[in-house]
Structure 1
Amino acid sequence: MAALPLADNVAVYIAQKEKLFEKEGLEVKIEPVQQSTKAIPALVKGDVNVIAGANYVSFLQANEKGTLDLSVLAEAASMTSHMMDALVMPDSKIKTPKDLEGKKVAVNILNNIQSLTLDAILKANNADPSKVEYVSVPFPQMAAALEKGQVDAIHTVEPFTSATEKDLGARVAVDGGAEPVTNTPIAGYISTQKFAKENPKTAAAFQRAIFAAQKIAAGDRKKVEDILPTYTKIDAKVASVITLPGYPTSLNTTRMQKVVDLMDSAKLLKEKPDLKTILFQPSA
């Protein structure tokens, strides 16, 4: 499994620590990666069986292009209030979504989950997303770009949110997890149709182990806090205060449809995919 060092993937490490994979008869080797999309060639070749924490936008696009024959084995994370925030300098006049019109906003990757969800929040608050200029800035460099005035706001995530607030006195201008995007799925455990069809029992066992770990993550924050510092750059102090994503314990077509609808409205897909074929459902 290729896995990003994010809170989205905590179920993998909980499953490993609690021997949930072992219980299902699985031996799982975790290979850290910095970008989920960079693991696609290895996934297609079969060198990697699952990518953990894969962002749905990029992978649904890859599926449409034919780069990947996508199978979603389990959901990893969903949006929660303040999981992502639009931060501004303390003296900024930006205080509402409407105030972002005509401004430069830093996002990690253009035309992805950040701009997609923020656009939906803007529309819900009578602001015009087409009047916002998104600029691609890696998360670790966003604070410097904000401080230098290269951008007017940064759309960032933990642990960068807390660090920027502390170091620059930055404040939240827009809650990036507010309605209408609350509970929107943002990342999952991705495989290929080939792997899922050739190894249905393995895929089903993996899904069971992950959902068991997701239940632990969703119900016991302390266990999440304890394990985050073991595989991320989030230390114990930050882990105790950061906003965590939601950890879905099922694979839900209706919930996943929210991502597809957002992508469709943003013209990031030519046509809506058939989720019934993409979402892995174990046979009885």
Structure 2
Amino acid sequence: MARRSATGSRRARTLGTVLLLAVASCGGETDAPGAQAGPSLTAPVSIKVGDVEGAPASFIAFGVQKGIFAEHRLDVELVAQQGGAAIIPNLVSGEMQIGGSNMVSVLLARSTGLPLKIIAPGTSVGADPNTDFSAVIVAADSPVTRPQDLAGKSIAVNTLKNVSEVALKAALEANGVDIGAIKLVELPFPSMLPAVEKHQVDAAFVIEPFVTMARGAGARLLLRPYVESKANLGVGTYSATEQYIRQSPAVISAFQAAAAQTARYITEHPDEYRAALPAIAKLNPALAPTVNIPVWSERVDVDSLRFLGDKMVSYGLLRDPPDVNAVVHSGP
């Protein structure tokens, strides 16, 4: 079973400062601890993989539980964290070898000069809002009844300046909402439902299984932000530093193969994945059958990278459109 830990939100809020300090103190990158030529039957490789709590971390946890990563001779320690932005400094410092993040956080990190490359896709969505694994929720007694009512309201996101912020703004714009009049509040996913219920925030952007938990507690679903920002949006990524990729190409290949195999297995056995969620995501077993499962593919969606990069420029997160092809590792 994968092991887990968490980091505080302060780390995510100070991403730019932390990343620059990490580069300065490490000379750009560090030698990844424990890097080996490659995993083998006699010498499996231990790696630490960070991922975002909720559906992203559950993906890795399920693959570990099924023995898929072990089949590829990888001994994975999963470190679940509040957001992808908090994972990136750990990659640069060498504390983690591979990190699950989101496209926006990786593009933002690359814009500061950090030598990260996307090695595999993470979560994505289809085209049907009813199957989106994200949602904006409001309390059952909230006066907010439609997306347009969110103008001027406070909305919780897991971290600022990440894919949640960008997709939320794009979805609200698509619904005619003045995004300049909303207030974003940073909260961990597990804290969002209580904050909504206590009216500490007007709404919250949550992902599965927190969407299903919120619905089970009586919260109302107002918006499906990933799909409503862009159909078939690619959201998540798995990344590593360029130095670790050079040092351990066989480990990278083994992770890519294990992630792709896990993606295929979940696609072919969705009920088995849902049945595992109570144990790996602390979900009420009665709610597991109704969880919306993300789409996990085997190719990085460059079109989604380009879409999100353009939106980052529109929302002031980047000055210039990023070179999206440069951020994707082109090796095997």
TM-score > 0.5 by shorter chain: yes
Q: 2:112 aligns with which of 62, 65, 68?
A: 65
Of the structure 1 ranges 92-101 and 30-39, higher mean CA displacement relative to structure 2 is found in: 30-39
Give, as a single letter, the amino acid of the residue that structure 2 aligns with 1:157.
I
**Within 2, Cα distance between the matches of 1:118 and 1:38?**
20
1:230-245 equivalences under 5 Å are 230-245=279-294
Q: 1:3 to 1:70 in 2, by over 3 A?
A: same
In the alignment, what sits opposite 1:112?
162
For 2:74, the aligned partner's letter is: E
Cα gap change, 1:235 to 1:3, in 2 (>3 Å):
farther
Counterpart of 1:155 in 2: which secondary structure? strand
Local SS of the residue matching 1:205: helix
Output one character per residue of 1:71-105: Cα deviation in whole Å (capped at 9) or x when no partner.
11101101353422222233433222222112222
Structure 1 unpaired stretches of 5+: none
DSSP 3-state at the match of 1:31: strand
Question: 1:211-249 CA deviation, whole Å, 9 max, x = no partner?
Answer: 121111223202312333343222433322111211122
Where 1:33 maps in the other structure, the secondary structure is: strand
Match of 1:165 among 205, 212, 215: 215
Number of equivalent positions:
279
Please name the residue that 2:75 is paired with.
Answer: 28
**Per-residue deviation at 1:38?**
3.8
1:247 to 2:293 alignment? no
3-state DSSP class of the match of 1:8? helix
- Give the CA deviation at 1:269: 1.6
Indicate the larger mover: 5-14 or 208-217. Answer: 5-14
1:48-83 CA-to-partner distances (Å, cap 9, x unmatched) read 2111x31232232222223x3111110110135342
Corresponding residue of 1:79: 125
Question: Among 92, 104, 121, which residue is 1:44 paired with?
Answer: 92
One of 221, 224, 232 as aligned partner of 1:183: 232
Q: Does 1:54 align with 2:101?
A: yes
Please state whether the residue corresponding to 2:296 is helix, strand or coil: coil
Determine if the alignment matches structure 1 residue 8 to structure 2 residue 8. Answer: no
- The alpha-carbon deviation at position 272 of structure 1 amounts to 2.8
Partner residue of 2:37?
none
1:172–1:20: structure 2 CA closer, same or farther, 3 Å change rule? closer
* 1:184-204: CA deviation from partner (whole Å, max 9, x where unpaired): 222111101111123333322
What SS class does the counterpart of residue 208 from structure 1 fall into? helix
Residue 152 of structure 2 corresponds to which residue in structure 1?
Answer: 102
3-state secondary structure, aligned to 1:237: coil
Query: How far apart in 1 are the matches of 2:77 and 2:97?
Result: 11
Structure 1 residues 83 and 46, CA, compared in 2 at 3 Å: closer, same or farther?
Answer: same
Stretch of structure 1 that moved more, 26-35 or 211-220: 26-35
Q: RMSD of the TM alignment (CA)?
A: 2.4
Assess, with a 3 A threshold, how the Cα gap between structure 1 residues 33 and 19 changes in structure 2: closer, same or farther: closer
Are 1:256 and 2:316 matched, yes or no? no
Look up the equivalent residue of 1:192 and give its one-letter code: T
Q: TM-score with structure 2 length normalisation?
A: 0.75
Q: What's the counterpart of residue 277 of structure 1?
A: 326
> Does the residue aligned with 1:94 lie in a helix, a strand or coil?
coil
- The amino acid of 2:109's aligned partner reads A
Q: Contact 1:85 / 1:175 at 8 angstroms: preserved in 2?
A: yes
Are the aligned partners of 2:103 and 2:305 in contact in 1 as well (CA < 8 Å)? no
Give the secondary structure class of the aligned counterpart of 1:185.
coil
State the 4+ residue runs in structure 1 displaced beyond 4 angstroms: none
**Does the residue aligned with 1:2 lie in a helix, a strand or coil?**
strand
Q: Judge conservation of contact 1:86–1:155 (CA < 8 Å) in 2.
A: yes
Q: In 2, distance between residues paired with 1:248 and 1:78? A: 8
Q: Residue 136 of structure 1 aligns with which residue?
A: 186
TM-score, structure 1 normalization: 0.86
C-alpha distance 170-229 of structure 1, shift in aligned 2 (>3 A)? closer
In the superposition, relative to structure 1, how do residues 11 and 87 fare at CA in structure 2: closer, same or farther (>3 Å)? closer
- What SS is found at the alignment partner of 2:239? strand
Structure 1 residues 125, 50: closer, same or farther in 2, change over 3 A? same
Q: Which residue of 1 aligns with 2:317?
A: 268
Shift of 1:134: 1.7
| Preserved contact between residue 85 and residue 174 of structure 1 (Cα < 8 Å) | yes
CA drift at 1:258: 2.4
Deviation at 1:206?
Answer: 1.9
Instruction: Describe the shift of the 1:248–1:261 C-alpha distance in structure 2 as closer, same or farther (beyond 3 A).
Output: farther
